[in-house]
Amino acid sequence: MFLILRRHCGFGNALIQLSALQSTGVLSRTILIGYEDIISSGYLETPFIPLASLKYDSLYTRMIYFAFRHLFPKTSSPLISAIPKLLVDFFGQDTSSYDLAPLSKLAISKPYASKLLSYLRRSGFDLSETLVIHARGGDYRTWPSPLVPALLPSSYYNKARKLFPTINNVLVLTNDRAYVGSLELDFEYQVYSVCHDQSFCILALASYMVLSPSTYGYAAFHVNSHKSKAIAVAPLYWAGWPRQEWFPPTFKPTDIQYIPVF
């Protein structure tokens, strides 16, 4: 029995998925489709070893995938090891059911980290003395609900900034410059809008960070915290801050400092 897993999620959720698959012993029997930016990235030293990793943009791979989609019904379950089907779409920020130990073995490759840190230093940013803010926009304008999105207001970033009075440099990572431009921030900062791999690596190498409620930032912090004991701040109630209810309900990592958004 083997598993075919086609990616339907972002970078952070994909890392959680692979960690869950690895911890349950299923990854070695899994054919991954669309995970090549993790499995063969060149900038990550990954512990994840699947049965195979295919690019979804090849016609051959798409034919295989859609053949299985036709033959086997789509299922969704938080427990990968209990899935009886060959095809599964796996989503979710709720990490309570998954063992993240494999994720802690992920590392930024030393040559890539050295080049990135050198570039940032030339730009005036030493990550050991810089506050890195992950300002997630884009899809967060409508997620988890268009009526109650998780998009954070200016008050959160301003409150978080005050927790680091001895840090002078602030670097803002974002996938949405328009969102950052609309914020009324009462501190100086520099926006760094780069591809997701560089942003992830910067967060994974940072000593001080302010997170948006996303698995992207949490995965980077999880990788980081096992190595350098980085300090991270996140909104109280995570993505459920607008309603003041935890979302996902069981997502409450104790290694993060939570602050009220308002």
Ranges of each domain in the chain: 3-104, 110-259
pTM of the complete model: 0.85
Q: Which CATH number fits domain 110-259: 3.40.718.10, 3.30.70.20, 3.40.50.11350, 3.90.1150.10?
A: 3.40.50.11350
* Mean of pLDDT values over 163-175: 96
Q: Average pLDDT for residues 166-177, to the nearest whole number?
A: 95
Question: How many angstroms from the chain centroid is the CA of residue 13?
Answer: 6
Closest CA to 172 of 117, 141, 130: 130
Q: Residue 207: pLDDT band by 50, 70, 90 thresholds?
A: very high
Q: pLDDT band for position 97 (50/70/90)?
A: low
Give the pLDDT confidence score for residue 80 in this predicted structure.
Answer: 40
pLDDT at 92 over 80: no
**What is the Cα–Cα distance from 199 to 181, expressed in whole angstroms?**
18
Cβ-proximal residues to 114 (8 Å cutoff; 6+ apart), any chain: none
pLDDT in tens, 103-129: 888 999 999 999 999 999 999 999 999
| Statement: residue 224 has pLDDT above 70 | yes
Q: In terms of Cα–Cα distance, which of 228, 233, 256, 232 is closest to 117?
A: 228
| 98 three-class SS | coil
Q: Hey, is 178 helix, strand or coil?
A: helix
Output the CA–CA distances (angstroms, integers) from residue 137 to 75, 149, 180, 183, in the order listed: 30, 10, 8, 11
Q: Which residue has the higher pLDDT, 14 or 151?
A: 151
Q: Which two three-digit tokens encode residue 145?
A: 């609900």
